[in-house]
A = this chain, B = another copy of it.
Amino acid sequence: MLRQNGLSCQSSCKIDLRISAKRMGLLNKVEVLKGRKRGSKRDPEANKQLLIEATLDTIADIGVTDTSVSRICERSGLSRGMIHLHFGGKDNLLTAAAQHFSAQYYAEMDRMTDLGSDASPEDRVMAVIEADLSEALLNPRSTKIWHAFRGIASSHPGIARYSSTQDHKLVETLRLAFKEITQENVRDSILVDDATAGTLALLEGMWVNYLTDMQGFSRRRSVDLIRRFLCGLFPGKFKL
């Protein structure tokens, strides 16, 4: 929107129009989002969020490689100095974006798997799987961002911290559920570990399938596939 305004008017008024358009449009939106008191035109915390969101959107749109400071600021409608001001540099912003993205994922995952405490372990496992493959978590934007971050994680320690599914509450949720399922058969603790790791691995694979071919991807079939594998691991459980 900003760019369109800038391009469509003559050069003499370009700067004025861009500034006023930015000011009005974005700040009003921010005010609504954050509930900031009316008339205030400054809100550092909201701008930090704006930058993080713009970073994620830019990565999803044009890829990490082409995500530059200028591009992020352009999209957020804020000035170029803002990144250094609030984050101290591009790298820190990227790390903050990865953290925010990860936190958002787990928050939404928690929300979607908040079954009653009387839910069977099978239902809890399936809830995790269905949540992970739901449109809220698995969509074009999130897959692109997720894999982009993972792709640069090994050369970017700050991001690596948020590129793993393996060290979160989610793992314990699954492990506990599988433990309950096998409780009569306690001798086999490796089964629980394998079921947990295997389920997460299958989900990873599904995300890759989605990234590779979004058209041909079917959430239902993917859920059924994983259920089928779990049904094999725990005969009698996870029946359709």
Q: Which residues of A contact B (CB under 8 A)?
A: 62-66, 143-144, 147-156, 160, 163-164, 166, 191, 194, 197-198, 200-206, 208-209, 211-213, 224-226, 228-229, 231-235
Contact = CB atoms under 8 A, between A and B. Distances in A.
A151 B148 contact: yes
A155 B62 contact: yes
Contact of A208 (B149, B198, B204, B225): B204
Contacts of A202: 198, 201-202, 205
A213 B166 contact: yes
Nearest to A140: B154
A218 B148 CA distance: 26
Given A62-B155, A65-B64, A150 B229 contact: no
Contact of A225 (B143, B194, B234): B194
Contacts of A200: 205
A200 B143 CA distance: 18
A225 B198 contact: yes
Q: What's the dominant secondary structure at chain A's contact region?
A: helix
Q: By CB atoms of chain B within 10 A, which of A154, A212, A232 has the most?
A: A154
Given A143-B154, A160-B212, A191-B228, 4 more contacts: A63-B154, A64-B152, A151-B152, A197-B225
Contacts of A234: 232
A63 B158 CA distance: 14
Given A201-B204, A202-B205, A63 B152 contact: yes
19 contacts: A62-B155, A63-B152, A63-B154, A65-B156, A147-B150, A147-B154, A150-B151, A154-B211, A166-B213, A197-B205, A198-B225, A198-B228, A198-B229, A201-B209, A204-B205, A229-B232, A229-B233, A232-B234, A235-B235
